[in-house]
Structure 1
């Protein structure tokens, strides 16, 4: 199985940290933020469950741009072969 070597950028890690510390952040935003931070500075890849959550967030009109940015970051770190 191929390995995706992308990692969370410093800017995205900062957004994720802010999201997690904000009491007004939605549950999905916090979930995506936690996933992004877990992949910061490691070779961890996005789980299939998080891929699904991130995909739904990107397709929905109800989420903020910040949430969609986190979703895009999480998806960019997904296993390449799983999407095929």
Structure 2
């Protein structure tokens, strides 16, 4: 079964996208995670995976951003 974004990660992704102070990488990762909330056939693109990786390595990002980025990165096809 394909992975989808869970409800907690989807809520976090929506918060990230609605925030005016969130950076581009966080928004890219959040958008990818939110797209996959109900679409098991979708997978994270290379660009979104790179953005998600940057978010997870950055110590300044919020828990919501990290949650969305982790969800997006976990759905990257190998």
TM-score surpassing 0.5? yes
TM-score in terms of structure 1 length? 0.78
Q: Which runs of 5+ in 2 are unaligned?
A: none
The match for 2:61 is 63
Query: Residue deviations 1:43-62, cap 9 Å, x none?
Result: 20001111111112212222
Structure number with bigger Rg: 1
| Structure 1: 4+ residue segments shifted above 3 A | none
Unpaired stretches in structure 1, ≥5 consecutive residues: none
- Give aligned pairs, total: 77
Q: What TM-score, normalized to structure 2?
A: 0.83
What's the C-alpha RMSD, in Å, of the aligned pairs?
Answer: 1.6
For residues 58-79 of structure 1, give each alpha carbon's deviation from its aligned partner in whole angstroms, at most 9, with x where no partner exists. 1222222221111111111110
Task: Report the Cα distance in structure 2 between the residues aligned to 1:69 and 1:45, rounded to whole angstroms.
Answer: 17
